[in-house]
Amino acid sequence: MLERAANYGQASNYISDRGNITIGGAESGIRVYNVRAYDKALTPDEELNNYIYDSDNKAEILSRNDIFLSGVIDYTKVKNKIDTFVVTGDLTRLLNQSSGKKESETTVNFKRECITDASKTFEVTNGMIRKHGQSTLNYPITSLKIWTNKAKEDNVVPIISLSDAQKAEGLNKNRYIMKTGAIPANKFVLQANYADSSGTHNGGLLRLI
């Protein structure tokens, strides 16, 4: 829970000339295990290296985060570690931050590759995708809604490819079972949780309440 917050202007340099760093207080106890001081801003890779170095399970963390090839995220490595969802097509309208839900509607291909349960892997050609939500529409990362049974254009028919296990369920109307025990459906929401500095307002409101 947020205890306090401070706002800094663009001219702030975050440099202290007091000479000392004070940790803890008269009303609280604290244990300091490690302190590192740098004369530069750390890169994400350097921050990760620090985390791994201080961890007991270094090999496991290294393996989980081994998703780069020549400094770029490698999709093959990623899909072998976690379930993935890939959208292919012209995403101009979808990525335009000024477009609303209706304006963002786009016919695309999408595929879910499920390493945890191969029976949940599926692929759709000519499905529809659009932005989802209201207050989050203009977030850098917004939630998305997909349809497996329709395209943006009326004369385009989506084609769905299911695993044999899903076909055995006798599904119709391009329905798909997202997880075991779920009701078959042909539209889904890809929920995105995005955190930025604007979230501090929620914390401040929490304190007021």
**174 plus 76 within the same structural domain:** no
> How does the average pLDDT of the chain come out, rounded?
83
The pLDDT value recorded for residue 175 is 94
Residues 99 and 143 placed together within one structural domain of the fold: yes
Q: Output the pLDDT for position 12.
A: 61
**18 class by beta-carbon count within 10 Å (0-12 exposed, 13-18 middle, 19+ buried):** exposed
Whether the predicted pLDDT of 71 surpasses 80: no
Range of the domain at 43: 39-82
Which string of b and e fits 105-141 if b means at least 16 CB within 10 Å? bbbbbbebbbeeeeebbbbbbbbbbbbbbeeebebee
167 and 184 fall within a common domain? yes
Structural domain includes residue 16: no
Within a domain: 91: yes
Categorize the per-residue pLDDT at 100 as very low, low, confident or very high, splitting at 50, 70 and 90.
confident
- Final residue before a domain boundary, out of 22, 55, 82: 82
pTM here is 0.68
Of 24-33, 134-143, 154-163, which one has max mean pLDDT? 154-163
Last residue of a domain, one of 30, 47, 82: 82
Quick check: is 129 in a domain?
yes
Stretch among 5-14, 64-73, 125-134, 178-187 having the lowest mean pLDDT = 5-14
On the question of pLDDT at 11 being above 90, the answer is no
Residue 47: the pLDDT is 84
Are residues 180 and 96 part of one domain? Answer: yes
Which of 14-18, 86-90, 94-98, 108-112 shows the lowest per-residue confidence on average (mean pLDDT)? 14-18
- Please indicate whether residue 135 or residue 79 has the higher confidence score (pLDDT): 79
Of 9, 54, 14, the C-alpha closest to 34 is 54
Task: Give yes or no for a contact between 173 and 157, defined as CB atoms under 8 angstroms apart.
Answer: no
